[in-house]
């Protein structure tokens, strides 16, 4: 088995070491003898998304999101929408997650028209939503308890065509008001949780990998790993966050 990963916009969307999620996915696959290739797709690279099994997009500040708009609307928007409809697995974080929605209006009134791949939009708030947080994934996302870190001004509102990734147990999540966190649509996972997401949440990592492998091979299994250290980090944070 083999998984082809595309890391989109690693040059501009890489807050808090979000690329650690790609390293984590690669390592957990390699430990099981599953080959991976990672192809970076920076601004200006117009390579097609065809043939990728999993696309990762990290987070970025308002400035970076504005910088990449032109590149996005030069064809990557169509590519991403088509890949999503085709069932390609996506993991997108914060700014990268917002980018899949229809728009982001910053607190100072600047509007970024995004790509409308997911039925959601984001509006900036005066108070930033910052801190460690935790949420419980919905059953279709494996149901695990996830510990993470969020830092965003944007409040994201989900439309009826998407499901939340999970329910907030402590912290803000999508908007600090309706208790939802992230979004799920087809094989897309969107979340506000930055860098520590997958290394500290091995159950969610494996759920995402299994989603991508199942789409590619029809059925797939992942051999269990010794997650003692990962689970210890997870459980310690879960206890600390209220
Ligand atoms: N610029 C967006 C916001 O503040 C995304 C931030 C991020 O990716 N951390 O809402």
What is the token pair recorded at 130?
A: 């910052």
The confidence score (pLDDT) of residue 63 equals 87
- Give me the domain span that covers residue 68: 2-240
Q: What percent of the chain has pLDDT over 90?
A: 93
Residues shown for the chain: 242
How many domains would you assign to the chain?
Answer: 1
154 lines ligand 1 (CB under 6 A): yes
* Residue 65: per-residue pLDDT: 87
Strands 111-113 and 183-185, bridge-based pairing: unpaired
- Report the catalytic residues: 94, 194
pLDDT computed for residue 195 by the predictor: 77
End-to-end CA separation in angstroms for the chain:
41
List C-alpha distances in Å: 239 to 145, 150, 198, 234: 11, 17, 18, 9
In tens, the pLDDT along 125-151 reads 999 999 999 999 999 999 999 999 999
Q: What is the CA(218)–ligand 1 centre distance, in A?
A: 36
To test the ligand 1 pocket, which listed residue (18, 57, 58, 98) has its Cβ within 8 A of the most ligand atoms?
98
Parallel/antiparallel/unpaired status of strands 166-170 and 2-8: unpaired
Per residue in 71-108, pLDDT (tens digit) is 999 999 999 999 999 999 999 999 999 999 999 999 99
CATH code, 219: 3.40.50.880
């Amino acid at each position: 088995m083999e998984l082809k990963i595309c890391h989109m916009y690693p040059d501009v969307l890489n807050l808090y070491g979000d690329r650690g999620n790609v390293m984590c996915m690669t390592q957990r696959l390699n430990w099981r003898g599953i080959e991976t290739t990672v192809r970076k797709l920076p601004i200006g690279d117009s390579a097609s998304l065809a043939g990728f099994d999993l696309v990762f997009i990290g987070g970025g500040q308002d400035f970076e999101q504005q910088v990449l708009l032109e590149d996005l609307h030069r064809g990557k928007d169509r590519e991403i929408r088509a890949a999503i409809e085709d069932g390609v697995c996506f993991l997108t974080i914060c700014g990268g997650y917002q980018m899949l929605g229809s728009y982001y209006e910053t607190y100072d009134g600047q509007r970024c028209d995004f790509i409308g791949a997911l039925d959601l939009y984001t509006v900036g708030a005066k108070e930033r939503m910052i801190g460690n947080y935790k949420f419980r994934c919905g059953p279709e996302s494996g149901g695990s308890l996830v510990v993470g870190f969020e830092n965003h001004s944007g409040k994201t509102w989900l439309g009826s065509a998407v499901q939340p990734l999970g329910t907030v147990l402590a912290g803000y999540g999508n908007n600090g008001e309706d208790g939802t966190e992230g979004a799920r649509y087809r094989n897309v996972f969107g979340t506000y949780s930055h860098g520590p997401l997958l290394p500290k949440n091995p159950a969610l990592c494996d759920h995402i990998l299994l989603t991508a492998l199942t789409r590619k091979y029809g059925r797939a299994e992942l051999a269990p790993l010794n997650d003692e250290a990962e689970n210890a980090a997870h459980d310690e944070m879960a206890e600390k966050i209220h």
